[in-house]
Structure 1
Amino acid sequence: MAASSDSVVASYVPVAGYDSYLEAQKAVDRLSDERFPVQEVAIVGSGLKLMEKVLGRMTALKAAGLGALSGAWFGLLVGLFFAIFAVRVSLLALIVWGLIWGAIAGAVFGFISHLFTGGHRDFVASSQLIADRYEVLVAPAHAERARELLQIRPI
């Protein structure tokens, strides 16, 4: 897959560079506002880093609670599915029982899963890929027009 994305990047030319993704996104939005063929545009980040923001400590109780929430959603979906095909059964009862049993199963699974980690990675985190620099690339046939549009009203 890297080879195909590298060939796409190689066939485009840089028209502008920015320190943040938001600035690059605004540049492409500006091109779109000017009726530029944005399907000929790419935003490429370089100097990629993985940032993981630690959100809090994971405890067995928290794992059970998060498991119960996700299990409840799944149980709700199962209950709704059964309710569609149910004959002579209370639809509300099927949905509620699906929600309850899903929450119970999810809580048990979350609790047991946390115990099996053996104390490793006892925290909750969110990951994000960030870049040092973002370039707006355009197909060569449209590069000059893109440069003109971005220089008329700089960001």
Structure 2
Amino acid sequence: MDKPAKRPADLDLDFPQSLAVYDTYDEAQRAVDHLSDNEFPVENLMIVGTDLKRIERVTGRLTWGRVALAGAITGLWFGVFVGLVFALWVEDGGVVGILLSTALFGALFGVVWALTGYAATRGRRDFSSVTAVVATRYEVLVEHKHREAARTILAATPGLLPDPYA
């Protein structure tokens, strides 16, 4: 049986209780900022993102040509970097030659590496994308002994406590 991951000690509260739940991180941050502005000991608070979702945004179709071009560009930049490192130890005149040769070798290596990786997918993933994990709700937790003081401060300002807590 797997053990739950242990959080670092600075991410724990002794007896956290829910203060409020918000739809956006900005709303939760605004509530904590308001508490801070009112001299509340904010080190007794925690914002927790809940109901996590993995979102993948498809950015385009992959073709052999696009994969080769992306590999060449990536390899070219890596080759220039390696060339600059080597150029630190080269005396007069050889810097340009080293930069050109490492850039070309890097581009060639990048193309081969990218096409090999693309071929290994065997057409199962012919698109590019970016992914992110986002929370759909943000809960502000407070140390139990400070809950009522925090609620009193938030309740005094309209809009800082969500409807179920008003």
Give yes or no for contact 1:61–1:111 (8 Å, CA) kept in 2.
no
CA gap 1:75/1:29 in 2 versus in 1, 3 angstroms: farther
Give yes or no for contact 2:28–2:138 (8 Å, CA) kept in 1.
yes
Equivalence map 1:54-73=2 (5 Å): 54-73=58-77
Structure 1 gap ranges (5+): none
Cα RMSD between the aligned structures?
A: 3.0
**Corresponding residue for residue 97 of structure 2:** 93
Q: Distance in 2 between matches of 1:151 and 1:92?
A: 67
**Corresponding residue for residue 110 of structure 2:** 106
Equivalence map 1:2-151=2 (5 Å): 2-5=4-7, 8=12, 11-31=15-35, 38-151=42-155
CA deviation after TM superposition for structure 1 residue 120, in Å: 0.7
The number of residues matched between the two structures is 155
Q: Distance in 1 between matches of 2:40 and 2:82?
A: 46
Q: Distance in 1 between matches of 2:90 and 2:114?
A: 30
Larger Rg: 2
CA gap 1:111/1:35 in 2 versus in 1, 3 angstroms: farther
CA gap 1:31/1:77 in 2 versus in 1, 3 angstroms: farther
Q: Distance in 2 between matches of 1:48 and 1:65?
A: 35
CA gap 1:149/1:71 in 2 versus in 1, 3 angstroms: farther
Aligned-partner residue type, residue 4 of structure 1: K
CA-to-aligned-CA distance 1:31-62 (integer Å, 9 cap, x gap): 55666655543221222221211111111111
**Identity percentage of aligned residues:** 39
Secondary structure of the equivalent of 1:121? Answer: coil
Aligned-partner residue type, residue 52 of structure 1: E
Q: Distance in 1 between matches of 2:123 and 2:37?
A: 52
* Structure that is richer in helix per residue: 1
CA deviation after TM superposition for structure 1 residue 3, in Å: 4.0
Secondary structure of the equivalent of 1:4? Answer: coil
Aligned-partner residue type, residue 83 of structure 2: G
TM-score normalised by structure 1 residue count: 0.76
Aligned-partner residue type, residue 79 of structure 2: G
TM-score normalised by structure 2 residue count: 0.72
Give yes or no for contact 2:48–2:138 (8 Å, CA) kept in 1.
yes
Give yes or no for contact 2:13–2:44 (8 Å, CA) kept in 1.
no
